Each structure stands twice: as structure tokens, then as C-alpha cells.
Chains A and B, each alone.
Chain A
Amino acid sequence: MSGGGIAAGGGVGPGGGLAAGGGAAVAPGAATAAGPSTADVAGATGTVGTAGAAGATAGRTAGPGGTLTGTLTLVRFILRRDRVRLPVWILGITLLVLSTASSIEGIYPTQADLDTAAQTARDNAALLAFQGPDYGLDTLGGQVVFNVGATGYVAVALMAMFLVGRHTRADEEAGRTELLRASVLGRNAPVTAVLVVQAGAFVLLGALIVLSLLGQGLPTAGSVVYGAAMGAFGLLFACVTAVTVQLADHNRPALGLTGVVLGAAFVIRAVGDVGDGTLSWLSPMGWAQGSRPYAGERPWTLLLLLGTAAVLVAVAYYLLAIRDLGGGLVPPRPGPPTASAALTRPGGLALRLQRGALISWVAGLALSGVSFGSIAQDVGDLIGDNEAMEDVIAQAGGDLTEAFFATALLMLALFGVAFGVSSVLRLRSEETGGRAEPLLATALSRSGWATSHLAIALGGSVLVMAAAGLGVGLTYGVAAGEMGEAGPLLGGALCYVAALWVVVGVAFALFGWLPRAAVPVAWTVVALCWVIGMFGQLFELPRAVIELSPFEHVPEIPAEDFTLAPVAALVAVAAALLALGYAGLRRRDAGY
């Protein structure tokens, strides 16, 4: 008994301390646990229960003993497991900010350049929608914040989402949490530990961002507020994920829910920033950007992020208290005792496994398309109102609405490629999960098995891009009364399918030849396509580098005319990559 008590005390005390230092959101819950742990060492179990229940933030952790017991041990364990991932995420995002900051200075050497740039951006609804509000655009700092823009916030949210999911629902799904919880470990310890690590990671990330910006000679106040905004936004999404992993009983749908929240935050903010900004107050991304780094700092808006995060931690604790380990909030129901013909026909299993994801992606891309389509109307208004825009139009070499659509379609395609890659990589997770082995021990050939999932990845890419194109085209058609644009916009979106197929082909070729590297390398390719697509111009990357991305070869309809040759070439490259993947798969060991 005393051994357990000591372990509990040792685990929680310092854990609480770390949390208090790491982030305000988790501090109240963790700090309370330091009390009961001391009592536990003294052996007064009864007192412990009362103290824990009375003091716990959630107010519902009524069980005897600390619900946070063992948190520090888990914190160490998570740091060990993420010793590569955490630094990669933190350094990657820091590098994004640093490289933006260092290139901005070169692009706008004089105040006159900055003024011009500020004017251009203010009048460009597309830029406002994709990057954020027009605060302090006539300063170097403001330009850095604007150019890192929403992408930076999305990146920290993704970091939080993946890492929290990995240590909570993914572990629970695999049965590892059960093993841990059977030892001396409180119910809330796993989620608290990962949030403590995330809090620490975001403090570190924020500090690195501040140092990077100060190193570029930018003002202190703005740099600190921007670092804090990035960190606080990431922490908020760590807490959002802490809740979604309680709701869904699998990691994939849980992360999907977080993705929906992030998408909604982005879209609401985009619509708000293009309009008068009121709507942006409904979005946490709006709160982060509303802290106005380098433009009359308003750090109190970050308290909204931290306050919401604290509430979400309480919600997560509450949900943990009312649900079973391994379950979600919906109890499992019995299913059919026999398989339908649809399941057992060729490709039936792959479709069944990926159906949910496919529907979500199609709906998500359609909604994103609708939101871009509705903003496009404002772009037209802006041009009408502003006489200074003639220059800009001349610079852009075309209609600004068309330029907006071209950027919107590129962005949607860069969303869509994530579907294609995650869909084809399902092959790898089926393989490493041991679920491919029984299938491949039947008369199903490796190629047949791979084809069933590839068909979803390739066909699904067409569907998501069609949904995106129709969303943009129909919404704009209705809003602007220009239905004639719907056809070209759909066509423009479908042209990007060729680029999606190339990336799917890269992922499949990796799966065939370097299965162990396939997942990280394929996602790195996606990230590089994103960086080239969104930042290629800004970073003034060499043409040769920019042209590595298949997305840069797709005709930018409607700003450009359709040309068959590049699209056909991309399809040919994709076909070659797929053939390469099949050849590798036939040759290699399966199941490792």
C-alpha cells in the first residue's frame, strides 16, 4: 500500500507543478492534485477522496484517490515517445515563421514598399480570406503575421490534434490505456499528461517564435503577443481534441471532429475578415488574430482562448467520468450476423472501411467551396468600389475575381490532396494493423487488395474536387447571378484531380517500395506542396523548386485557359507512379 501511495505522491506533486508552469489552462486541475497526493503519502485515504473531490476543477472526480495520480510518469513517457515528433513539429512551425520573417525584409525594403503592399492586401478579399485581418500591414511585423497567416494557426492546431489524439484515443483504441490504467494511474492522468506536454511544447514554440522575430529586429511587444497567440491557439486545439477523443470511440473520427471545428473556425473567420470583422469574433482563430501583434496589441483576446481551453479541460474530465474505458458516448449496437453481397464483392470492404471518411471529405470540401463561392461576391464589390484597383488588376494580368477563384481552387485542391493521401495510406495502416494478413491469406491477390483502396483514393479525389468545384461555382452563380461561371469552375477544380493523382501515386509508390517510410514521407510531400503553393511566391523559391509541385502545373482556371498537355502529363506521371507501386508491392514482404 505504502509503495502505491509514495508512487502516487511522487507522480502527482511535480506533475501539478509542471502544469502550473506550463499553461494556465491545465494549472487549476493539476495544481489541486498536489494536495491529495501529500495526504495520500500520509496514508489518509479517506481524506484524500474528499480533498480530491472538493478541489478538483471538474468537480465530478469523486472517486477515492487522485484522478491525476501518475501524471508526471506519463509526462516523461510521452516526452520519450514523442522525442522526434515534438521537435519536428516545433522546429517546422518555427522555421515557417522565421523564413517568412526573413524574406519579408528583403521584399519590402522601404516604407513606401510596405504602404503599397498594405494597400494591395486591403483591397484583395482573397488574401484577407486566406491569411487574416489587415492589421498593421504597413509594418514589417504586421506583414510577417499576415503572410504566415491562417496557415500558421492551422499548423499549430494540427500539431495539437495529432499529438493529443495519438496519446489518448489511439492508445485507448489499441488497448494500451487499459494496461496503464490497471496500474497506479488516475482516470484523468493520461489526458492531463498529454495536455501538460502540449502546454510545455506550445510555451517552447511561442518562445522560439518570439526569439525568431526579435532576431529579425521586430518590436518586442508585437513579437511576444504573436508568439503567445500561436501558442495559445495550439493549446486551445489540444483541449478541443481532448474533448473530441472522449466523444468518438476511435481516433480517426475523433480527429475528424477536431478537423471540423478547425475548418469552421477558419471559414467563419474568413467570412468575417472579408466583411466587417464582426463574424470573426465567433471564431477562436479570430480571437488569436484579434490580439493584433504589431498593430496596437490587444493581448486580452488571448484570454478568450485560454478560458475556453480551461472549460474544455473540465468538459473532458466530466466526459471521462461518465463514460467507460474503450467506449465512446454511444453504446455499441449489434450489427448484421451475415455479410451483405455489397461487402464481399471486389472492393466492397475498402468502400465500407473508407465510406465514412469519403463522405466527410466530400461534405467538407463542398462546404469549403460554398464559403469561397460566397466570399467571391465581395471581391467583385471591392473592385467596383475601389478605383486604385485598376493597377492591381493590371499587375495580376486579369480579373481579380478570376484570380481569387484560381487561388481558391488551388487551396481546395491542397485540402483535397490530404484525402487522397490518407485514403491510399489506409493500405499501410491495414497492413501494420495485422488486418491485411488474413485477407492476403485468401484468394485475394496483393494487387487486387491494393486496387480496392486505390480505387477509393483515385475515384474519391474526383468526387472531392467535383464537390469543391460545384460548391464554389453554384454558390457564386446564385450569389452573383452568373451561373455561366459554374461550368468553368467545376472544370478548373477537376483539372486539379490530375495533381492529386500524382501525389496519391507518390504515396503508393512509397508504399510499394519503402513501406516503413511511406506515411511520414508521403505527408511531407503534402506539406511541401502546401508550402510551395501558399508560400512559393513569398519565399521567392527558385522556379525549379516550385515546379516540383504537381499543383503548379495545373492550368489556373478561370484566370488561365484550359490546356490539355500539362493535365495529360500529370495523369501519365501518376500512372507511372502507380505502376511502380504495384511492382514494388508484388516483390516485397507483406505485413511489416
Chain B
Amino acid sequence: MTNAIEVTGLVKTFGATRALDGLDLTVATGEVHGFLGPNGSGKSTTIRVLLGLLRADAGTARLLGGDCWSDAVALHRRLAYVPGDVTLWPSLTGGEVIDLLGRLRGGLDAGRRDQLLERFELDPTKKGRTYSKGNRQKVALVAALASDAELLILDEPTSGLDPLMEAVFQQTIREVTDDGRTVLLSSHILAEVESLCDRVSIIRKGRTVETGTLAELRHLTRTSIAVEAERPLEGIEQLAGVHDPEVEGTRARFDVDTAHIDGALRHLTRFGVRSLTSQPPTLEELFLRHYGDEMAGAGAGVEAGAGAGAGADGVEASS
């Protein structure tokens, strides 16, 4: 299989700021690729380089077999883009913007446009300035999804959408990928990424820190185990790959590196297991694990922890 996006060693600086610092990203044709990273980690900068809007200082960025910078216009006929912050022309209606962007790209499917307007419940006769944030987002989504572009580049496309519209979005993306099209999805909604994406790249400070399928990423991380045994549990602390053990007599909770699960379970069975729950790491935990120390350092841990719910409790301060 060929790759729709191939980025290696991408560097982009803005004055003293190093926005991208040797970033790698590979998106295979036909997959939905999740692109994760905290605010300011370089996601939008990467996407703007892919679109040929920014010129990279070093590294290569290739899209659909062409160069992002020098072949930009030709490549743009084959892709559709949804910006994270959609700004519309105040005097143009949503319908006009959809047609404008579609025709500039080389035409759009009128039937599909109308169908999408209906599914997203968007009124195309309203002027740009009267749309809410969610509706502005819908205008850009309909314009992108009504095209027959083989690559969709979506930068936080569902920010501002309500849960119903989020469901419509996910359904539409599945239809798109059934047609064999490729999607690069930058998102903060981890449930959305877990449900849609085949593979995920996590970036941080302009570098890719993790990339692979969700299963592969989980393999690199820890599983939470809660166990109750017949006899008091002993020796859990000494087991290889165990972290944060909390042992109270016959009950214990701990995290274990996925590679050491087998050893841990063998040890537990010696005490007569009554009940055992094991929880694979959620994407949220993966995400928090990679940014945990950064957030702790920045004093932003409270906010992130609250947002991530219970999953944040087990996060360790090292990655």
C-alpha cells in the first residue's frame, strides 16, 4: 500500500520558536489517521505545511506522491480541508461559501451537498456573520465532505458540534473511508479518535512521540488491575513491571506494563483469586501519560486531570 502522507524530519521555526522539531508522520492510503497532541504542539502548523501554506525549514513533506510546497495547487484538487477555526465572509451565505470552495477545488456533487445539508441540519441561506461557531464548522464540513477528494485533512473538525452532530460526523467519515478515501483527523475528542481511527500519531513539542495502531500503543503501556484474593496478597511490589501498587490485605490495585501481565497473573493465582478486573488503557490515559510530566511541570495538571476523569489518577509523572 502506498502512503497518502509522508513527512520526515519536518522543522519549522517562527523566529525563536521551534514549532516543528523533526516531526515524522506517515498516513497510509485508505486509513483514518488520528493526529493527537496538546495545544501548541504543532498540529495545525504541520497541517499548514501539508497544505503548502507554510514553507518548512527542513525535512520533507509529501502528499499523494507530490511535494506539498511546489505542487500545492495540483494536490489541492485532490484534497479537502476543514480548518479548526472556521472564519466565513460576513456577507456571503453558507450555501455560497460551500459552492465557492467546492468549485474552486474543481466541482462538487450537488446531490451529496444537499444530502449533507440535511444531515447536518444546516440552513444555507444564512449570512456568514449570523452563524454560530458550530454552524460555521458545519459549513466547512459540508464543503469538504461534498467533494470527491481522495484525501480529507480535518483540523479539529467537530469543535463546537453538539453530540448529535458528532454522531452524524462519525457516520459520514465511515462512509468516506468505505469509499477508500484517506482521512487525517486532528482532534482533541479522544472518543472520536478511538472510534474512527485506524492508526494514531501523538506529537509533542513539534516531534512525534508515538505512532501506531491503537492496539500497538496499548501494548506499550500499562493495564490497570484490581484483584481480590482468598489469602492476603504478598510480593506484588517486587514483581517486574508493576507500578503504583496499593495493597490492603486481600485486595490490591496496581498498574502493570502490558509486557509483564502474564507474570503478574501467575503470581496472583497463588493467593486464590476471587475476583479480578483488568482495564486496558484508554486513549485518554495514553495521551495523559505522554503529557503528564509536562502538565505537572506547567501546573496545569488539575485542569487536565479533571477533564480526563478517573483515568488521570493512575498517570505517572514519567513517560
Contacts and interface: CB of A to CB of B under 8 A. Distances in A.
Contacts of B217: none
B87 A440 contact: no
A28 B136 CA distance: 43
Interface in A337-355: 337-340, 343-344, 349, 352-353
A337 B53 contact: no
Interface in A540-560: none
Q: Which size class do B's interface residues fall under?
A: 35 or more
A333 B126 CA distance: 8
Interface centre among A326, A434, A442, A444 (most CB of B within 10 A): A442
Interface centre among B81, B95, B100, B101 (most CB of A within 10 A): B100
Given A339-B103, A437-B83, A588-B55, A334 B126 contact: yes
B137 to A, nearest CB: 12
Nearest to A587: B55
A435 interface: yes
A441 B84 CA distance: 13
A589 interface: yes
A250 B79 CA distance: 34
Given A353-B89, A438-B83, A443 B96 contact: no
Given A434-B87, A443-B77, A443-B106, A339 B100 contact: yes
A336 B93 CA distance: 7
Contact of B104 (A353, A439, A592): A439
Contacts of B53: 437, 440-441, 589-591
B129 interface: yes
A332 interface: yes
A339 B55 contact: no
Contacts of A326: 129
Contacts of B89: 349, 353, 435
A352 B130 contact: no
A131 to B, nearest CB: 39
Interface in B34-90: 48, 51-55, 72-74, 76-77, 79-81, 83, 85-90
Contacts of A433: 87
A520 interface: no
A344 B73 contact: no
A502 B151 CA distance: 42
B134 interface: no
Nearest to A449: B104
Interface string A468-509: 000000000000000000000000000000000000000000
Contact of A336 (B54, B95, B105, B123): B95
Given A339-B99, A589-B53, A589-B54, A443 B93 contact: no
Contact of B96 (A343, A434, A442, A587): A343
A192 to B, nearest CB: 25
Given A343-B100, A435-B87, A352 B92 contact: yes
A444 B73 contact: yes
Given A438-B101, A443-B76, A338 B96 contact: yes
Contacts of A435: 87-89
Nearest to A441: B81
A440 B106 CA distance: 13
Contacts of A111: none
A353 B105 CA distance: 20
A439 B81 CA distance: 10
A430 to B, nearest CB: 9
Contacts of B92: 335, 343, 352
A337 B98 CA distance: 10
Nearest to A430: B89
Main secondary structure of the interface of A (DSSP, over half): loop
Interface centre among B80, B125, B140, B153 (most CB of A within 10 A): B125
Contact of B95 (A337, A437, A587): A337
A344 B108 CA distance: 12
B91 interface: yes
A445 interface: yes
B90 A250 contact: yes
Q: Which size class do A's interface residues fall under?
A: 35 or more
A557 to B, nearest CB: 39
A339 B105 CA distance: 14
B127 interface: yes
Contacts of B241: none
B54 A335 contact: no
A364 B54 CA distance: 40
Nearest to B49: A589
Contacts of A332: 126-127, 129-130
A529 to B, nearest CB: 31
B81 A335 contact: no
Nearest to A436: B53
A344 B100 CA distance: 5
B99 A344 contact: yes
B124 interface: yes
A588 B52 CA distance: 10
A173 B129 CA distance: 9
B124 A442 contact: no
Nearest to B106: A443
Contact of B85 (A434, A443, A589): A434
A84 B103 CA distance: 43
Given A338-B124, A343-B96, A440 B51 contact: yes
Contacts of B99: 338-339, 343-344
Nearest to A331: B130
Contacts of B79: 441
A434 B52 CA distance: 15
Given A443-B73, A589-B54, A591-B54, A337 B83 contact: no
A437 B52 CA distance: 10
A591 B48 contact: yes
A442 B75 CA distance: 9
A173 B127 CA distance: 14
A442 B104 CA distance: 6
Interface in A564-592: 587-592
A432 B178 CA distance: 37
Contact of B125 (A336, A438, A587): A336
B140 A442 contact: no
B186 to A, nearest CB: 14
Interface string A238-256: 0000000000011000000
B144 to A, nearest CB: 9
A335 B100 contact: no
Nearest to A433: B87
Given A332-B130, A445-B73, A337 B103 contact: no
B127 A442 contact: no
A589 B55 contact: yes
A136 to B, nearest CB: 49
A583 to B, nearest CB: 14
B142 to A, nearest CB: 12
A332 B126 CA distance: 8
Contacts of A333: 127
Contacts of A335: 92-93, 95-96, 125-127
Interface in B102-119: 103-106
Given A332-B130, A336-B93, A444 B54 contact: no
B93 A337 contact: yes
Interface in A305-335: 326, 332-335
Given A344-B99, A344-B104, A334 B125 contact: yes
25 contacts: A173-B129, A332-B126, A334-B93, A336-B93, A338-B124, A339-B97, A339-B98, A339-B99, A339-B103, A340-B96, A353-B91, A437-B48, A438-B86, A438-B140, A439-B101, A440-B53, A440-B76, A441-B51, A441-B76, A441-B81, A443-B106, A444-B73, A589-B55, A590-B53, A591-B53
Interface of A: 173, 249-250, 326, 332-340, 343-344, 349, 352-353, 433-435, 437-445, 587-592
The 7 A-B residue pairs with the shortest CB-CB distance, nearest first, are A339-B99, A335-B93, A334-B125, A442-B104, A441-B81, A434-B87, A337-B95
